[in-house]
A and B are shown apart, each in its own frame.
Chain A
Amino acid sequence: MNRPLRRLSLVVAFLFFALFASTTWIQFISAGRLNAMPGNSRQLYAEFGRERGAILVQGGAAVATSEGVQDPYEFQRTYPAGPLYAPVTGYYSLRYGTAGIERAENDVLSGSADELFYRNLSSLLTGEKPQGADVTLTLQPRVQQAAWDALDGRKGAVVALDPETGDVLAMVSSPSYDPNTLASHDGAVQEQAWDRLTGDEDDPLVNRATSALYPPGSTFKIVTAAAALESGDYTADTALKGPQELDLPQTSNTLKNDEGTACGPNDQVSLADALRISCNTAFGDLGLTLGADALQEQAAKFGFGQSLSIPTSVATSRYPTGDAVAGPLLAYSAIGQGSDVATPLQVAMISAAVANDGVVMKPNLVARVSEAGGSGSVIEQPSPQELGRAVSTGTARTLQQMMELVVSSGTGTRAQIDGATVGGKTGTAQHGVGLPPYAWFTSFAERGDKKVAVAVVIEDGGSTESAYGGRLSAPVAKTVMEAALDG
C-alpha cells in the first residue's frame, strides 16, 4: 500500500500547490488590480483614515481641513467657508469621489505622492501614520470675498488674475454649494445632497469660471483688434467702415449695431473708437478683411484651443474653424458670436496678457505645497510660467490705451477707479433668440506696483437694454479690482 500512498502524496502536493498559486495570484499578481477596483472600500478607508492635508488660502486661513473624529473613517473633511471656495476646493466625498483641488492635488493632500515617499518612509519606521501635505492656494481671501459679494448670488463667474504671475487671486462661481454635505460620513446626508445638486438646473457643481464655455461676445473684439494691430496694416487711428448695417457676403443678412445707428460720421470710425463704443459693424468688417486664419492664430496666441490644468482641469476655449467661419459667419466670429466659446478664465487671460505687455502667463491656483503640522517646510513651489507671447509690446501698449478709453469714455465707465489706471471691455453675448444675453466685462487695473486682471460673466443679462456688460458686470469687476489693488 506504500506505492499508492506515495501517489496520494503527489495528489496532496498538487492540491497544496494550487493553493499556494492561487494565494500568490491574489496577494501579489493581481493585488494592484483588486485594490483599484470600484467598490473596494478598504482603499477608501485607508485614504480616509489618513490625515489629509489642509487647503489654505493666502494669509493662512484654511478652506478645507481634516479633523479627527470617532468613527471608522477617523477623519472628517470640513470646509469652513462653505460655498465661497467650493468651486475651487471641490469636495471630498466617500461616495461621490473628489472634485476641484481635492482631486487635482489628491496625491499630495493624501500623502501618496512620490515627493512625499521619503518623508513618509521615516513615519513608516516610527509607526506614525503618514500625513498628507498642505496645499496653499494663490487665492486672496479679500478679493474672493469681494467677488462673491459683488456677484450677489446671480448666476455667473468671476476670475481675477495677477497678470505678471498668472496667479489666480479670486475664482468665484455662482450658484455654489456646500461641500460639507458631500463630505459627510452620513451616507444619507451625502446622497440627499448629491441628488439635490445633480438635479439642480443651475448646475451648482459646475465651476463656471473654468468649466463653462460661453460665447465671449464683444470681449473678443480685443482679440480682433490685436490681430489687426499685429498685421502691421492698422493703428489705433486707422479708419474702419462702421455703417449702421454691414452687408454680409453670400447672403442677404446684415450685421447691425446694437443701437441701430452708424458708428461715426460718414460711416467711418477709428479702430480705437470702434472698441470704445463696441462697434459691431466695424469689427465684423475688420474680421472679414483680416480673414479666419489671422483671427484663429491670434486667438490661439491668447490661449484659445489650449488645454490647461491649473492644476484643476479647464475646459478648452475655441475659436471656430472650417465651415463655422465661412462667409458671413466670419464676421460673427470676429465679434465673439457665432461658434466662439470661451471660459471666463480665458477671457480674463486676454486682459491679463494685454496688461502684461503681451505675455500670456499660465494661470495657476497653487502657491505651494508644504509639510503639514506647522513646520511649513515647502515641498513644492510652482514658479510663474509663460504660455507664450500674444502680441508685441507695442501692440499691447496700444491695446492698453484703447481699453482705457473704453473705461474712461466708452461702454465701461462703471469700472472707473479713482487713482488707478483701468482698462476694460464690455460684452453682451447672445446665445439664443429670446434668451437674456450673457453680460461680460473683462478688464485690468494698475495702481502703484499692483496689477490685476478680471473677467466677470453674469448669465442672466436682464432685459434687452444696451450695454448690459457695462451695466451689470463692470461694477462687479470694479469691486474686485479695488479689492485686489487695496490688498
Chain B
Amino acid sequence: MATVLPVYPTTRRNVELALVVLAVVIAGGAWAVTGLTVDGSLPPNLFAYAGGLGGLAVVLHLLLRWRARHADPLLLPVATLLNGIGLVMIHRLDLALDSSAASRQFTWSALGIVMAGAVLVLVRDHRVLRRYTWTAAVAGLVLLLLPLVPGLGRTVNGARIWIGVGPLSFQPGELAKICLAVFFAGYLVVHRDALSLTGRKVLFLQLPRARDLGPILLAWVASIGILVLQRDLGTSLLFFGLFVAVLYVSTERVSWIVLGLLMFSAAAVFAATTMGHVQARVDIWLHPFTAENRTGSSYQLVQGLFGMANGGLTGTGLGEGRPQTVPYANSDFIYSSLGEELGLVGLFAVLVLYVVLVERGLRTAIGVRDGFGKLLAAGLAFSVTLQVFVVVGGVTRVIPLTGLTMPFLAAGGSSLVSNWIVVALLLRVSDLARRPAAEVRNGPDGETGVTQAVRIA
C-alpha cells in the first residue's frame, strides 16, 4: 500500500466557514426569489429557514474545528448547498401543490445535521468502525429485510422498501447502504490478498478460486433478492455496484469487475425478460412517447422530459415553470423540477456539486493511509455516484427509471439523514487523511497506517 504524504498543510476551516455562509446565502436568495415570484412578497419564514439551516451548518462547522480540524473543507458547504437547493424546490412545489413537505424536510435536515455531528463526536477515529465489520453486516441485512416484516413493511408504488410506524415512514435501505459500506470495507481489507493473489489465470483474466467466489456470489444473490422480493431495481443496482467497486479497489483485479458485470448483466437480462414490472420499466425506457405509454405508464417520465425541455438552457425561473405537473416532482423527479426552473445551467451547477462531493471523497480515499479508510471512503463516495447516476440516468433516459433518491435534494427523511451520516464519515476519514504525518497516532488496532498485518483467509 502506497503512503501518501499530506499535501494540505493548513486546515482551511475559515474557507469552509465562508463557503457555508455563501451556500446559505444562495439557498436563502433562491427561497426569497421563489416567494417573490409566486406570492409577490418575501416568504415570512425566510429567516427562520435560512437562519436555521445556516445555524445548524455553522454548528457542525464549529464541531469540525473542535473534533476534526483537518477535515476536508468542501464537503460541508457542498452538502449544505445541496440540502438548501432541495429545500427551496420542495417549498416551491409546496406552493404549487398546497402541500407541506418543506417543513418536514427541514426537520429531517436538522436531524440529519445533528446525526452528522453525533457521528463526528462518537466516532473519534474511523478505524474504530473496523471492529464492527460483522455487526454492520448483520445490521445492514436486518435493515434491508425489515420492509418484508408483515405489519411493519409498506409497499409504495410497487416497491416494498418502506417501513412504517404510525404516521412515520422510513426507508431502511438508505441506512443499510452505510452499514454495508462499512462491512465491505472491513471484510475486504482483511481478505484482499487472498482474493487478489490466488486463483488460476485464464487468458488475461486471473480468475478467483471457487471458495473466494463466495462473497461475490452472496452479494449477487442478496441484490437479486432485493430485486425479486422488494421489487426495487435501484437499491439492487446500488448494492451490487458498491460491492464490485470496493472489491476492485481492494484487489486491483479487473477479473472481479468482468465477473461482476457478467453476473449483473445476466440477472438484468433475466429480470427484463421474465419479471413483469422490470419488463414494464424497460418498455417505458425504450418507448416513452408512444401514444399509449405517454398518457399511461410513461406519463411521469415524459412529463419530466417535457419539463426539462421547457426549462431549456436557462430555465423558466423559480416559480415560473410547471414542475408540479410531474408526479413525485419533489422526490423521484426533483432533478427535472430543478431542470425546468433553473435550466441546463442550473442542472450543470447541481451536477458539479455532486462531482465535487464525490471527488473530495475519492481524494480522501487516496489520501488516507489505512486500507479500511480507503475502502470506506471510496465505497461511500462511489455509492453517492451510483445513486446520482441511477436517479439522473433514469430521469434523463440513460438507463431505465428506478426508484432511488437524489442525495440531499429529494424530499425524504431517511435519505437525508443517511446522506448527512455519509458526509460525516467522509469528514472523519478526511480528517485523518489530511492530518500532518507527525500528528497521526497509531490506530485503535495498533495500525500505524503504513504497514499492517494481513491475515490470509
Contact = CB atoms under 8 A, between A and B. Distances in A.
B84 interface: no
Interface in B386-415: 386, 388-389, 392-393, 396-398
Interface string B218-256: 000000000000000000000000000100111010000
Interface stretch (A35-43, A261-269, A422-430): A35-43
A81 interface: no
Interface residues of B, number: 52
B393 A19 contact: yes
A30 B386 CA distance: 26
B249 A5 contact: yes
B457 interface: no
A26 B374 contact: no
Given A5-B374, A8-B362, A22 B398 contact: yes
Of A26, A27, A31, the most chain B CB neighbours within 10 A belong to: A27
Given A8-B249, A42-B325, A18 B309 contact: no
Main secondary structure of the interface of B (DSSP, over half): helix
Nearest to A20: B351
Interface string B254-273: 00000000000000000000
Contacts of A22: 392-393, 396-398
B396 A25 contact: yes
Contact of B348 (A6, A8, A23): A23
B248 A27 contact: no
Given A15-B385, A27-B311, A34-B306, A9 B348 contact: no
B385 A16 contact: yes
Contacts of B389: 15-16, 18-19
Residue in A34, A35, A46 with the greatest tally of chain B CB atoms within 10 Å: A34
Contacts of A25: 396
Most buried by A among B311, B325, B344, B388: B344
A12 B358 contact: yes
A23 B396 contact: yes
Contacts of B322: 42, 45
B382 A12 contact: yes
A322 interface: no
A251 interface: no
B313 interface: yes
Given A19-B392, A19-B398, A1 B325 contact: no
B294 interface: yes
A4 interface: yes
Interface in B296-316: 302, 305-313
B237 to A, nearest CB: 12
A23 B347 contact: yes
B167 to A, nearest CB: 31
B354 A27 contact: no
B365 interface: yes
Contacts of B396: 19, 22-23, 25-26
A118 interface: no
Given A16-B385, A34-B309, A42-B310, A5 B366 contact: yes
B373 to A, nearest CB: 10
A46 B310 CA distance: 10
B343 interface: yes
Contacts of B306: 34-35, 37, 40-42
Interface residues of A, number: 37
A24 interface: yes
B147 interface: no
A33 B312 CA distance: 12
Nearest to B245: A8
B344 A27 contact: yes
Contacts of B310: 31, 35, 42-43, 46
B358 A23 contact: no
B1 interface: yes
A22 B396 CA distance: 6
Interface in B351-373: 351, 354-355, 358-359, 362, 365-366, 371
A28 B378 CA distance: 33
A9 B325 CA distance: 37
A2 interface: yes
A2 B339 contact: no
Contact of A8 (B343, B354, B378): B378
B348 A4 contact: no
Interface in B1-50: 1-2, 4
Nearest to B314: A27
Contact of B2 (A2, A30, A35): A2
Contacts of B328: none
Contacts of A19: 351, 388-389, 392-393, 396, 398
A12 B347 contact: no
Contacts of B398: 18-19, 22
Contacts of A43: 310
A39 B295 contact: yes
A27 B385 contact: no
Contacts of A18: 389, 393, 398
A28 B393 contact: no
Contacts of B366: 2, 5-6
A238 to B, nearest CB: 65
A8 B364 CA distance: 13
B296 to A, nearest CB: 12
A27 B308 contact: yes
B344 A28 contact: yes
A7 B249 CA distance: 9
Contact of B371 (A1, A11, A37): A1
Contacts of A34: 305-306, 308-309
Contacts of A4: 248-250, 252
Interface in A44-93: 45-46
Contact of A39 (B1, B294, B344, B381): B294
Interface string B70-108: 000000000000000000000000000000000000000
Interface in A198-220: none
Q: Max chain B CB contacts within 10 Å: which of A5, A30, A37?
A: A5
A37 B295 CA distance: 13
A23 B344 contact: yes
Of A11, A24, A40, A42, the most chain B CB neighbours within 10 A belong to A42
A1 B374 contact: yes
A37 B294 CA distance: 11
B98 to A, nearest CB: 13
A327 to B, nearest CB: 51
Contact of A27 (B289, B312, B355): B312
Contacts of B4: 2
Nearest to A30: B309
A34 to B, nearest CB: 4
A389 B338 CA distance: 61
Contacts of A16: 351, 354-355, 358, 385, 388-389
A4 B247 CA distance: 10
22 contacts: A1-B1, A1-B250, A5-B362, A5-B374, A8-B245, A12-B382, A15-B385, A15-B386, A16-B351, A16-B388, A19-B393, A22-B393, A26-B305, A26-B308, A27-B308, A27-B339, A31-B309, A34-B308, A37-B289, A40-B309, A41-B325, A42-B307
Given A16-B351, A19-B388, A23-B347, 11 more contacts: A5-B366, A8-B362, A8-B382, A19-B351, A23-B344, A23-B392, A27-B309, A27-B312, A28-B312, A34-B306, A42-B310
Interface of B: 1-2, 4, 245, 248-250, 252, 289, 294-295, 302, 305-313, 321-322, 325, 339, 343-344, 347-348, 351, 354-355, 358-359, 362, 365-366, 371, 374-375, 378, 381-382, 385-386, 388-389, 392-393, 396-398
Q: Which 7 A-B pairs have the closest CB atoms?
A: A34-B309, A22-B396, A27-B344, A31-B309, A4-B249, A15-B389, A4-B252
